[in-house]
């Protein structure tokens, strides 16, 4: 059986690692700061609408604390802006077979990219030969060190996974093994022919993350999202980039889980971008969501002014320590008109 190393045991990584460990899969969490200390001292608290469990899992700060083996599987679950640092940290770590080094992690081990956006797979290919994309539909929250909240039931999320590039999918035993383990761990898992088409569709859906992060409950920001998403679709279409239909996405998200209250948890908790502002991390993933659309537009010699303005506002908010809801929906609408 493989051992799973979760590189970035925050919301998504903690949920994946915690669920895999609950069904008996050997799992190691990689964390840092207060979260690392809490995991070591108290274990991982996993809260769902139906459960409240604490697990004592192996947790490390980096590769100097363990020896990699040829059966290990890496799952990258940082934010995209942190991905390059994590990949550089792990790519040259020796991998052992029968106690003897046989190569490096980048040469010998598969890495699964469980991040929003579409940039991290390309970044990973600089360092790892075997790269897999994971399109994550999972309502998870990590705000308190040592704690991860999964806000869905009966399944914990929907995952589409596949080799990148798609042509390498056929007869991939690692892919089949990971799919089986994640299915057993309470996730719905699909193996599409092209996982990046799913990730580009989710990129469009994630265009709205920055609105939620900046405005939160301070007015109705949802009408503002339509124009930003339409601009994103125009850019992707102009670039000839394929993505699945909105109907396929909606069906996949609705099939396996329902959002329900978690006892003792506030009803409103935002997504990953909202959580970054709420925690005051000083950085934000918007450059790889709305900013991805801007980059593609620039390469085509066209504009994406709405998404460009949103990326600017998100960077400013993260740099100045702004909190969700510091802007009203009306103020944001006015700022977007000042492009």
Tens of pLDDT, residue by residue over 98-157, are: 999 999 999 999 999 999 999 999 999 999 999 999 999 999 999 899 999 999 999 999
> 201-213, pLDDT tens digit by residue?
999 999 999 999 9
Phi, psi of 73 (to 5 degrees): -125, 125
The CATH number given to whatever domain includes residue 299 is 1.10.1040.10
DSSP-derived 3-state class of residue 301: coil
The CATH number given to whatever domain includes residue 136 is 3.40.50.720
**Residue 66 shares a structural domain with residue 113:** yes
At which of 193, 215, 233 does a domain end? 193
Q: Whole-angstrom Cα distance, residue 12 to residue 202?
A: 15
**At residue 96, does pLDDT exceed 70?**
yes
Residues 6+ apart with CB under 8 A from 296: 235, 236, 239, 241, 304
DSSP structure class, residue 64: G
End-to-end CA distance of the chain: 54
**Residue 141 shares a structural domain with residue 246:** no
Segment holding 141, helix H or strand E: strand 140-141
**Residue 105 shares a structural domain with residue 209:** no
Q: How many alpha carbons fall within 13 Å on the CB side of residue 22?
A: 23
Segment holding 272, helix H or strand E: helix 272-279
Domain of 172 in residue numbering reads as: 3-193
CB 15 within 8 A of CB 159: no
**Residue 188 shares a structural domain with residue 221:** no
At which of 144, 164, 193 does a domain end? 193
Q: Whole-angstrom Cα distance, residue 216 to residue 218?
A: 6
**At residue 167, does pLDDT exceed 80?**
no
DSSP secondary structure string for all residues of 150-196:
E-EEESS-EEEEEEESGGG-TT-HHHHHHHHHHHHTT-EEE--S-HH
**Residue 187 shares a structural domain with residue 211:** no
Phi, psi of 98 (to 5 degrees): 55, 45
The bridge status of strand 158-164 relative to strand 130-137 is: antiparallel
Indicate the range of 82-96, 126-140, 222-236, 265-279 predicted with least confidence: 265-279
**Residue 45 shares a structural domain with residue 184:** yes
This prediction's pTM: 0.95
CB 3 within 8 A of CB 69: yes
């Amino acid at each position: 059986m493989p051992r799973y190393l979760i590189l970035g045991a925050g919301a998504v990584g903690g949920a994946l690692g915690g669920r895999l460990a609950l069904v008996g899969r050997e799992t190691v969490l990689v964390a840092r700061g207060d979260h690392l200390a809490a995991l070591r001292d108290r274990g991982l608290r996993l809260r769902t609408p139906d459960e409240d469990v604490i697990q004592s899992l192996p947790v490390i700060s980096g590769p100097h604390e363990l020896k990699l083996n040829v059966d290990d599987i890496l799952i990258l679950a940082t934010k995209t802006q942190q991905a390059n640092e994590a990949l550089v940290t792990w790519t040259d770590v020796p991998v052992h077979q029968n106690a003897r080094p046989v190569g490096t992690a980048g040469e010998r081990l598969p890495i699964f990219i469980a991040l929003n956006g579409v940039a991290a797979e390309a970044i990973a290919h600089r360092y790892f030969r075997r790269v897999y994309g994971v399109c994550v539909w999972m309502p998870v929250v990590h705000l308190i060190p040592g704690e991860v909240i999964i806000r869905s039931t009966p399944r914990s999320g929907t995952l589409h996974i596949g080799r990148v590039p798609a042509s390498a999918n056929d007869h991939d035993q690692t892919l089949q093994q990971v799919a089986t383990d994640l299915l057993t761990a309470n996730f719905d898992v699909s193996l599409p022919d092209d996982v990046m088409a799913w990730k580009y569709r989710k990129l469009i859906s994630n265009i709205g993350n920055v609105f939620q992060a900046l405005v939160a409950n301070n007015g109705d920001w949802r009408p503002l999202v339509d124009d930003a998403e339409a601009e994103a679709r125009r850019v992707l279409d102009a670039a000839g980039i394929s993505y699945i239909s909105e109907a396929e996405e909606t069906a996949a998200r609705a099939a396996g889980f329902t959002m329900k209250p978690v006892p003792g948890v506030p009803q409103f908790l935002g997504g990953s971008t909202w959580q970054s502002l709420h925690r005051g991390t000083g950085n934000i993933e918007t450059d790889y969501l709305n900013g991805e659309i801007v980059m593609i537009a620039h390469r085509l010699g066209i504009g994406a002014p709405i998404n460009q303005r949103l990326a600017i506002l998100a960077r400013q908010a993260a740099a100045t320590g702004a909190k969700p809801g510091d802007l009203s929906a009306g103020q944001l609408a006015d700022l977007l008109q000042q492009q």
